[in-house]
Amino acid sequence: MRDTALDSALDTALSGAKLVEEAASLLTYGEAPDAMVAHAFERLGGLVPFDMAAVLLKEGDQLRVAHAVGPITPPGLVGTRIAVKGNLRLQAALKAKSRPTSFEEDDPGEDTFHGLMDMPHGHSCLVAPLRSQGETFGLMTLDAMVCHQYPDSVLHHVGIFASLLALALKQAEHLSKLAERERSLDAEVSYFRESQRQDFLNLPLRAESPEMRAIVEQVRQVAPTTATVLITGETGTGKEKVAQTLHHLSPRRDKPFIKVNCSALPAALIESELFGHVKGAFTGAANARKGRFELADGGTLFLDEIGDLPMELQPKLLRVLQEKEIDPLGAERPRKVDVRLLAATHMDLRQAVDEGRFREDLYYRLSVFPIHLPPLRERPKDIEALARLFLERIAKEHRRAVPVLPEAVMDRLRAYRWPGNARELQNVLERAVILSPGRELRLPPGALPGHADRGSERILTWEDQDRVYLERLFRATNGKVSGADGAAARAGLPASTLLSRAEKLGLQPKDFRQR
């Protein structure tokens, strides 16, 4: 003969275990709060009978009905607010740490939904706290049309269900906030990318001269492809501008544009910077780190000053171009990447190949589509267009009206040979805008190093202009070459290039240091 008490206890235990299992499953669905609570109460109703189930969330000194389901749920209940003050049952439930409480109609105190709905004669109610991080943020209530519906045998299990429901509610809330934040960030990124793209599309490059018009046409032809482009030209001619335009005119425009200056990275770190490393790959590698190739996956990687890439890394770059995969430091297997490579240099790579400083096979692989930017002195027709563009931008940055550009000033700009190219032109104009007292632009004395202010004065040779420029540069930096405030950074040149030019002119930075 079976033990009835034992069977009852076993049924209770099994029902409790099933209840916990149903609640725990809520954490794995990742549903929105409304759908998740409806799903939860549907599962709960199969184990614990109720005629209405609700979730009440704290808002100040009130409880807002956030969710309510069941046949006796009146229309418009969701969204209403219930005062806690004066309701002893709700006050007690909010103070409870975990265990739910049940009430019958003849117990002292008001019903949970007093004034919002008429409960019939003969009913019972269960109220369980919803807690997170040690605080009660709401209540779960069950109402039934019969008395003694919620005995002590089910309170413990319903309490566990409520605890898991609380976790699921907080998880759903956090997921909803994260999703909204992600949508907001995506919209923000899309807005800025589109704004930046429109800037490039409306004015990709100033092209008044035949030379630059030909380059703009080349850019438009190669931009939609995946071809590797090698951009060459003197410092300051706009190589990075061309690279950015290529990216924004390409199908990869919505993906990352990552720039790496090969001359600015220490030789010991450049491999890790480009290809990444795994945790423990070398001393100090406490965490894994993605390299620039992985960061640019799906987009464009721009390697500026590619001629300064160390010889020992050139084979690895060649392998990336050929195999479309990288080998992070310490990794057991290569990783596939989809990156379009753009490279730029001011040096003669063909000469570097002849001198054994650059791999010939890499040179040919990089120069699938070469674009050479002529110096500004060879395209004087672009000077006025560039000057007016720079003046507009500079005035906007400094919150000033766009200055008038007198013809006399324009004549001086055209006559100067611009050893620093467009970058030097921009710097000269920015200083002039700052120092000009009125609406008319004036070039301050010495704005054009070595350039005669009057047509009768002697025009310096190119070598003399270079010497005057470097002398002024070394004096301004007190003979300091490297660093953020050094001569190399101010000139926009690698330190090695600057020192080489100075040496050819017989200049030593140390001679300009103040004693």
DSSP string of 68-100? EESTTPPTT-TT-EEE-TT-HHHHHHHH-SS--
79 phi-psi bin (left φ>0, alpha ψ -120 to 50, beta other): left
Segment among 148-162, 244-258, 278-292 with least mean pLDDT = 278-292
What are the tens digits of pLDDT across the range 322-351? 999 988 888 778 889 999 999 999 999 999
DSSP 8-state symbol, 443: P
DSSP 8-state symbol, 27: G
**What DSSP letter does each residue of 220-256 carry, written as one string?**
HHHTTS---EEEEESTTS-HHHHHHHHHHTSTTTTS-
d(CA 403, CA 283): 56
CATH of the domain spanning 4-176 = 3.30.450.40
Q: What is the pLDDT of residue 109?
A: 61
d(CA 18, CA 176): 28
Query: How many other C-beta atoms can be found within 10 angstroms of the C-beta atom of residue 214?
Result: 13
**Closest-CA residue to 100 (of 141, 65, 68):** 141
Q: What is the pLDDT of residue 173?
A: 82
Segment among 118-122, 258-262, 290-294 with least mean pLDDT = 118-122
Segment among 28-32, 41-45, 420-424, 494-498 with least mean pLDDT = 28-32
pLDDT value at 89 more than 70? yes
358 against 512, higher pLDDT: 358
In terms of Cβ atoms closer than 10 Å to its own Cβ (0-12, 13-18, 19+), residue 292 is: buried
**Closest-CA residue to 206 (of 219, 222, 224):** 219
pLDDT value at 9 more than 50? no
- Rg (C-alpha) for the chain, rounded Å, is 37
Residue 372 pLDDT class (50, 70, 90 cuts): very high
In terms of Cβ atoms closer than 10 Å to its own Cβ (0-12, 13-18, 19+), residue 180 is: exposed
What are the tens digits of pLDDT across the range 427-484? 999 999 988 888 899 998 888 876 544 443 445 667 767 777 888 888 888 888 888 8
Residue 200 pLDDT class (50, 70, 90 cuts): low
Q: What is the pLDDT of residue 269?
A: 81
Query: Quick one: what percent of the chain has pLDDT higher than 90?
Result: 33
Residue 2 pLDDT class (50, 70, 90 cuts): very low
Query: Quick one: what percent of the chain has pLDDT higher than 70?
Result: 84
CATH of the domain spanning 203-374 = 3.40.50.300
Residue 107 pLDDT class (50, 70, 90 cuts): low
Residue 105 pLDDT class (50, 70, 90 cuts): low
Average pLDDT over residues 87-110: 75
* Contact indicator for 196, 248 with CB cutoff of 8 Å: yes
d(CA 502, CA 419): 14
In terms of Cβ atoms closer than 10 Å to its own Cβ (0-12, 13-18, 19+), residue 157 is: buried
Return mean pLDDT, the chain. Answer: 83
Tell me, rounded to whole angstroms, the distance of Cα 468 from its chain centroid: 43
What are the tens digits of pLDDT across the range 238-277? 899 899 999 999 999 989 999 999 888 877 788 888 988 8
372 against 169, higher pLDDT: 372
Residue 10 pLDDT class (50, 70, 90 cuts): very low
pLDDT value at 314 more than 90? yes
Segment among 172-181, 310-319, 344-353, 458-467 with least mean pLDDT = 458-467
Q: What is the pLDDT of residue 470?
A: 85
Average pLDDT over residues 367-386: 92
| Domain definitions of the chain by residue range | 4-176, 203-374, 376-452, 460-515
Residue 146 pLDDT class (50, 70, 90 cuts): confident
Fold of 376-452: Helicase, Ruva Protein; domain 3 (1.10.8)
pLDDT value at 197 more than 70? no
**Closest-CA residue to 432 (of 440, 268, 472, 411):** 440
Strand order in the sheet with 135-144: 81-83, 62-69, 52-59, 135-144, 124-132, 101-104
Residues 6+ apart with CB under 8 A from 272: 281, 282, 289, 291, 329
Segment among 82-86, 259-263, 406-410, 453-457 with least mean pLDDT = 453-457
In terms of Cβ atoms closer than 10 Å to its own Cβ (0-12, 13-18, 19+), residue 96 is: middle
Q: What is the pLDDT of residue 57?
A: 93
